[in-house]
Structure 1
Amino acid sequence: MQVEIKCFATLSDFTPKGGFLAVDDGSTVKQVIDLLGIKAEDVKIMFINGKHESLASVLKEGDRLGLFPAVGGG
């Protein structure tokens, strides 16, 4: 199945070319993060189709996954 992936801030280099990635049916956010070569501890916020989700959330065909690192500031 195909999902759209956008990685933000310090994770932006991990966004796949064209913004889409083919993954197995039933793949979790954690499995996609591993496939992209990102350390799970580097991802602090995950959105699927605009809703906050967890590493265990299962993706479906056509989902949009957004991955964000911890954001610091002050």
Structure 2
Amino acid sequence: MKPHHRHDEPMKLELKLFATLRPYLKGTCEDGTLEVPDNTTVADVIELLKLPEEQVRLIFVNGRHADRDRELCAGDRLGIFPPVGGG
């Protein structure tokens, strides 16, 4: 069950950026918690953090694959991964 959230206050999300995306947390949500308005989507978070579009490859919300248009809820865990190079 999701925690109760009042619509007039920011939602708190748990955010993890991986590998080459980690530096984008600096000065924004270094503790891993991000406050965003209600009705925020994954795409909104990508824009807010100024992540380069081509560097966003995999998105997970609460451990499940998600699309950029996914609307987030208070308490969600958002993970964003860059492309992974092979060798």
Q: TM above 0.5, one fold?
A: yes
Give the 4+ runs in structure 1 shifted more than 2 A: none
Unmatched 5+ stretches in structure 2: 1-10
Distance 1:28 1:51 in 2: 15
Query: Structure 2-normalised TM-score?
Result: 0.81
Shift of residue 27 of structure 1? 0.4
Query: Structure 1-normalised TM-score?
Result: 0.94
**Equivalent residue pairs, number:** 74
Distance 2:20 2:39 in 1: 27
Unmatched 5+ stretches in structure 1: none
Structure with the higher helix share, 1 or 2: 1
Q: Please give the per-residue CA displacement for 1:17-73, whole angstroms capped at 9, x wherever unaligned.
A: 110111011100000011011122210000000000011011000000000000011
- Cα root mean square deviation, aligned: 0.8
Match for residue 37 of structure 1 among 31, 39, 50: 50
Counterpart contact for 1:30–1:40, Cα < 8 Å:
no
